[in-house]
Every structure is written in C-alpha cells, then in structure tokens.
C-alpha cells in the first residue's frame, strides 16, 4: 500500500538490490570474488578489521539522508530525555491524530491515502479494536453529515475509562450517528462482541455500489469481531484457537484457522459489503504491518484452503479432538460466504491503508530525540524472538557504541549471528554499526538508538511483570562493566499501549546501576527473573522510579526500545 518510505527503508532496499545483483553475477560467472561477503565474515571474524567489514556498507544515499551536524546540547537527565522520546512515539500514533493525518476533506469529497472518493451522503462506517472509538470520533468530525450511520465494536468499559481520564476528544458527540457496542471483556470474544459483529455484518450486507464503507481497525479487533460460521458456537471456536495458541502455534497459523472458522475474517467483511467501495484505515499492532494478519484481515482477501487448515491442526495434534461442528465446516467444499452474492474476488473494491504503525512512532521519536540533543538512529521496527536473545543484542550494541577504540570484531560477528534470531536484518545491523562507529570516530555526541517490535517471554513463574520490564532488567545486566549515566548508556523498553502485563507500568528504564543497587539491597535478580517478577523488582528499586508509567495511552503499535549512548571521550 502506498505509504511514505523512510530513508532507512530506501537505503535497505538499495543495499538488498546491490547485494542480490552481486551474488547473482558471482553465481553466473562461477568465479571467486575478492569482495568480502557477510557470510565469509561470520566464518572468519578474527581475520578482519571492523573498518573493512563496514566499508562494504556505505551507500551514499543513506549517508546523505543522515545529517552530519551535531545535535544541540540538553541539560535534562538521560532518564528524563528517554521518557520524553517515548512520549513522542506514543503521541505520534494517537487514534485521532492518525485519522486526521490520513483523511482530507475537500468540499463534497474526501482524499484518503492519495485516493479521492465522492461524498453524496453515502458514507457508512464500521470499526473494531481498542483504539477505534477515538478513530471513529475524528472520522465523523471530518466527513460530517455525509455519514449515514455506523457501528463500532470496542472494549468493555472503554467509554467510561476515557471519560475518567479526561479523554473527551476521543469520545463521540451526543448526536453521533455511530452506534457504540462494548464487549470482549479481558480481550476475549464474548456474546456482546458477537452481537456487535452481527450488527456490523448486517450494515455491510445492505450496501450498494453507490455506497462507501469506511472500516476502522486497530489492535484487539479480532476479539471484537467474532462471527463463527454456523453451526460452530463462539465457545467452540474460542476453545480451538486457545488450544492452538497453547500448543505453540504461530500467529500465521492461528489466523489460518480463525479465517476458516469465521464469516468476517480473511476478507469476509469486504465480501459482505460488495459491491460497495471499501476503505480500511488500520492502526497496526503486528510486526511488518501485514493487513491480512491485523485483526485477522476482515478486509484483506485471502483464500481458505481446508487442506491447509487441517494440516495446521494435525501438526499440533488437535485434529482428532475437534468438535463435530468444526469438522462439519472444514469438510465443506466452500465453507464461507454462501449468500447469493458474486463469489469473485472483490479486492478491486477495497483499499487497505496502514495509517499508524511502529515505524511511524519511531520516526517521530527520532525527531524528538534530535530536539533533545541526540543523533537518532533507527535499528528496526520488527524486533522479536526470546527476550534473552533480544537483551543480548542491545547489550552488544551498547558495548560496540561505547568502546573508546575500534571494537573487537567478535562483537560484530556475534551481532550478525544474533540478528536473524531476533528479527533484525544483517543489513540493518551493519548500517547501525557503521553509524555508531562514525559517531565514535568523528565525535558526533550523544546517540539515540531506536527500535520496536514485540519480543516474547518464556513463563517460568507466577510473578508480576511483562516483556518490557523483563527486557529492561535483562539489558541492565548486559550493561555490566560499562559506566553509569550520564557517562554510560541508558536503556528503555515500553509498550505503546501503556500496559506491560498485569501491571500499571508500560515498561522500565535501566542502566548498569540496577545491578549495583540490587546487590546493595540484597535482591537476588536471578530469582526475580525466574519468577517473571520484574515489576516487583523495579518496585523495590529506587522507590519504583525506574518504572515507566505513562497511564492510559489509547493506542497500541507494539513496543518501543531505546538505547541512549553518551558522547564517547577520545
């Protein structure tokens, strides 16, 4: 979909094409190349200097995009500046903000993502997700009386919560034409959410070719749009997906099964609305922003093959224990959309636009970081994998950046080996190391390394905490031996939804001082980690001041990771 491309993305594509062409040429000529490849470096790290490795990754278009001017000085503490940068990331993806920036009203038309649509009192609106209420309020303000009617499915209690927190600008006006239906307590599909899904389906099914359906989607949308294909009950569908998740199924596998058992997922909503024009505005909470996975893709056409679904269920040994209703639906040649509508692919009448994402949050965080005296560098927006591996990645990057001399090549070698395991491309690591290295040798001053994503935590205990607080704690340990702020690095990890696990915190801020303070207080860090009790740990440390508690954020584009590197003295 046509979204603004960042300088980092352009540079990445440039390098990918360049490397692909080089490899292809080498294969065709079947000759040995004198150019050192990344793979050779991994095999023989001690034979090479880091300068030689990184000299291979110097695409001038990227360097031209990254200003060499020194950032301005700032007297705020590293901790305070980290919190400011995180706040800027969250502010950039507020539900009303992203809608306002993506929709432009011009007389009797609206421009969305570069596409112009005529308004003739023909616009209908549906939505589902945790941030959809604020999105709908702003959309209604923009289109005005051209909105005929709407239905949105939002979390139970969200209207009262927004009122209590003074977020009236995210609420609908009293004379709104949009019906609000609350459901999905504890983020689980329930009867109330199913009723909302039925109302949304009914509205979409009544549209004609003269109508425009605006669909608003955000994280949590899947649980708020449950529409199991009869005779499957809501409980039966929930049990199947819950057992799959418990068996270790990936999000792709879960969505494959959800789509097969749902009337509205996997393009089902767009099919119901055919022949109307469908425009979806999406606030993404999934790595890579795949529209077919966000809320299970109600407006993203996807073919459902029963064989593929059965293969997933068999892989996790659930095939023989399926309810009779599920077996019935999966046994049909064409299980979905049995209404008398055109069965052809309706994707030509659908526009899916991701208007808010982790990448957008990081971009705005980078701007704020520069205002606060840092040189911003974005590593990647899709960091994932086990939190222990992710913490090791940031620990290595901190050591690489804080080294007064040229870092040992073993650090870069381990980073490149670790990258694929945590969702970071080798090109992004090489580019980041290049910038960090130049910052050290040319005296650029402080650096703010930014990344995003959603790491995972292996549950081994029953303590309180979440992936961000555990990541921050583990990174604090990885910084062992480095200086304390303001002369040493600071790390922040925070969830943009404002809640990290069953706690009031969104994450935490750490440095090497956490270890020293824990030792002084007699706290056994290993015990806290084994019990997944990072929140209790940080509560005991510095009177809880290391915790990141932004309150209700009203949005969710996964997590923000931040590594602040002070100027390195020569």
Distance between CA atoms of residues 411 and 393, nearest Å: 10
| Together in a domain, 272 and 419 | no
> Is residue 105 assigned to a domain?
yes
Residue 255 has a pLDDT of 83
CA 381 to each of CA 300, 361, 530, 560: distance values in angstroms, whole numbers, following the listed order:
22, 9, 28, 8
Lookup: tokens for 311: 């293969």
For the chain, give the longest Cα–Cα distance: 74
Spell out the residues 6+ positions from residue 406 whose beta carbon is closer than 8 angstroms to its own.
49, 50, 51, 437
Mean pLDDT of 112-134: 96
| Together in a domain, 374 and 466 | yes
CA 403 to each of CA 250, 416, 441, 511, 513: distance values in angstroms, whole numbers, following the listed order:
38, 18, 10, 16, 19
- pLDDT tens for each residue of 11-21: 343 344 334 44
| Together in a domain, 180 and 302 | yes
> Is residue 6 assigned to a domain?
no
SS3 content of the chain, % helix, strand, coil (to 5): 45, 15, 40
| Together in a domain, 412 and 298 | no
Cα torsion angle, 536, 541, 546, 550, sign: positive
Helix (H, G, I), strand (E, B) or coil at 236: helix
CB neighbours of residue 145 within 10 Å = 10
Distance between CA atoms of residues 31 and 14, nearest Å: 24
| Together in a domain, 328 and 379 | no
Distance between CA atoms of residues 311 and 256, nearest Å: 10
Mean pLDDT of 364-393: 97
In this structure, what CATH number is given to the domain that contains residue 416?
Answer: 3.40.1480.10
Domain boundary among 290, 324, 356: 356
> Is residue 36 assigned to a domain?
no
Instruction: List the domain range (segments joined by +) for residue 221.
Output: 94-334+346-356
| Together in a domain, 188 and 155 | yes
Q: What size, in residues, is the chain? A: 570
- pLDDT tens for each residue of 82-97: 999 999 999 999 999 9
In this structure, what CATH number is given to the domain that contains residue 114?
Answer: 3.40.50.10180
Mean pLDDT of 335-349: 55
pLDDT at 113 over 60: yes
Q: Mean pLDDT over all residues of the chain?
A: 86
- CB 62 within 8 Å of CB 7: yes
Helix (H, G, I), strand (E, B) or coil at 83: helix
Lookup: tokens for 267: 């393009």
Distance between CA atoms of residues 437 and 179, nearest Å: 55
3-class DSSP string for 270-336: HHHHCCCEEEEEEECCCCCCCCCCHHHCCCCCCCCCHHHHHHHHHHCCCHHHCCHHHHHHHCCCCCC
- pLDDT tens for each residue of 255-300: 889 889 999 999 999 999 999 999 999 999 999 999 998 999 999 9
Residue 74 has a pLDDT of 64
> Is residue 504 assigned to a domain?
yes
Lookup: tokens for 436: 């960090």
> Is residue 49 assigned to a domain?
no
- pLDDT tens for each residue of 256-267: 898 899 999 999
| Together in a domain, 467 and 381 | yes
Backbone torsion region of residue 494, taken as left when φ is above 0, otherwise alpha when ψ lies between -120 and 50, otherwise beta:
beta
| Together in a domain, 174 and 260 | yes
Domain boundary among 302, 326, 356: 356
Distance between CA atoms of residues 120 and 344, nearest Å: 27
Mean pLDDT of 327-356: 72
| Together in a domain, 397 and 325 | no
Distance between CA atoms of residues 286 and 558, nearest Å: 7
H/E run at residue 53: helix 50-54
3-class DSSP string for 361-384: HHHHHHHHHHHCCCEEEECCCCEC
> Is residue 308 assigned to a domain?
yes
Torsion angle in degrees (nearest 10) through CA of 534, 535, 541, 547: 120
The number of folded domains in the chain is 2
| Together in a domain, 208 and 308 | yes
| Together in a domain, 490 and 378 | yes
Q: Band of the pLDDT at 333, cuts 50, 70, 90? A: confident
> Is residue 64 assigned to a domain?
no
Residue 47 has a pLDDT of 36
Distance between CA atoms of residues 498 and 505, nearest Å: 7
> Is residue 518 assigned to a domain?
yes
| Together in a domain, 277 and 134 | yes
CA 134 to each of CA 141, 215, 482: distance values in angstroms, whole numbers, following the listed order:
11, 13, 44
Q: Band of the pLDDT at 307, cuts 50, 70, 90? A: confident
């Amino acid at each position: 979909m046509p979204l603004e491309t960042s300088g980092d993305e352009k540079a990445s594509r440039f390098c990918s094409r360049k490397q692909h062409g080089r490899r292809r040429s080498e294969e065709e000529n079947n000759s040995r190349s004198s150019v050192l490849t990344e793979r050779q470096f991994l095999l023989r790290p001690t034979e090479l200097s880091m300068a030689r490795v990184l000299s291979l990754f110097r695409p001038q278009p990227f360097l031209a995009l990254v200003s060499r001017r020194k950032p301005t000085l700032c007297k705020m503490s590293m901790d305070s500046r980290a919190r400011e940068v995180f706040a800027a990331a969250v502010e950039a993806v507020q539900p009303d903000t992203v809608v306002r920036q993506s929709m432009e009203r011009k007389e009797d038309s609206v421009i969305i993502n570069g596409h112009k649509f005529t308004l003739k009192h023909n616009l209908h609106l549906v939505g589902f997700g945790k941030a959809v209420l604020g999105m709908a309020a702003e959309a209604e303000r923009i289109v005005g009386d051209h909105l005929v009617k709407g239905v949105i499915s939002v979390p139970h209690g969200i209207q009262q919560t927004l009122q209590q927190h003074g977020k009236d600008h995210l609420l609908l006006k009293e004379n709104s034409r949009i019906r609000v239906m609350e459901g999905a307590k504890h983020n689980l599909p329930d009867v109330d959410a199913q009723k909302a899904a039925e109302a949304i389906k009914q509205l979409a099914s009544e549209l004609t070719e003269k109508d425009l359906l605006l669909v608003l989607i955000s994280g949590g949308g899947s649980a708020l749009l449950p529409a199991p294909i009869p005779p499957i009950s809501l409980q039966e569908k929930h049990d199947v997906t819950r057992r799959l998740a418990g068996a270790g199924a990936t999000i792709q596998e879960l969505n494959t099964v959800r789509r097969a058992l749902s009337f509205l997922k996997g393009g089902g909503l767009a099919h119901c609305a055919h022949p109307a024009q469908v425009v979806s505005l999406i606030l993404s909470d999934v790595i890579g922003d795949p529209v077919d996975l966000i809320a299970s893709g109600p407006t993203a056409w996807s073919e459902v093959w029963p064989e593929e679904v059965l293969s997933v269920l068999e892989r996790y040994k659930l095939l023989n224990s399926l309810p009779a209703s599920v077996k019935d639906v999966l046994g049909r040649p064409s299980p979905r959309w049995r209404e008398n509508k055109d069965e052809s692919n309706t994707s030509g009448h659908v526009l899916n636009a991701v208007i808010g994402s982790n990448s957008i949050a990081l971009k705005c965080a980078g701007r704020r970081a520069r205002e606060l005296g840092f040189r911003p560098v974005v590593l990647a927006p899709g960091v994932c994998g086990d939190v222990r591996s992710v913490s090791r990645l940031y620990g290595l990057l901190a050591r690489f950046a804080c080294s007064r001399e040229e870092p040992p090549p073993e650090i870069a070698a381990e980073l490149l080996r670790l990258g694929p395991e945590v969702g970071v491309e080798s090109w992004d690591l090489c580019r980041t190391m290049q910038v960090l290295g130049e910052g050290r040798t040319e005296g650029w001053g402080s650096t703010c390394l930014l990344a995003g994503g959603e790491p995972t935590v292996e549950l081994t205990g029953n303590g309180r905490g979440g992936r961000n607080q555990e990541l921050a704690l583990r990174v604090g340990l990885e910084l062992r031996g480095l200086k304390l702020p303001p002369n040493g690095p600071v790390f922040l990890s925070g969830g943009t939804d404002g809640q990290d696990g069953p706690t009031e915190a969104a994450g935490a801020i750490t440095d090497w001082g956490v270890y020293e303070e824990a030792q002084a207080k007699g706290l056994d860090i290993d015990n806290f980690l084994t019990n997944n009790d990072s929140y209790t740990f940080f509560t005991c440390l510095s009177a809880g001041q290391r915790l990141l508690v932004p309150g209700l954020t009203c949005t969710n584009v996964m997590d923000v990771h931040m590594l602040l590197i002070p100027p390195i003295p020569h």
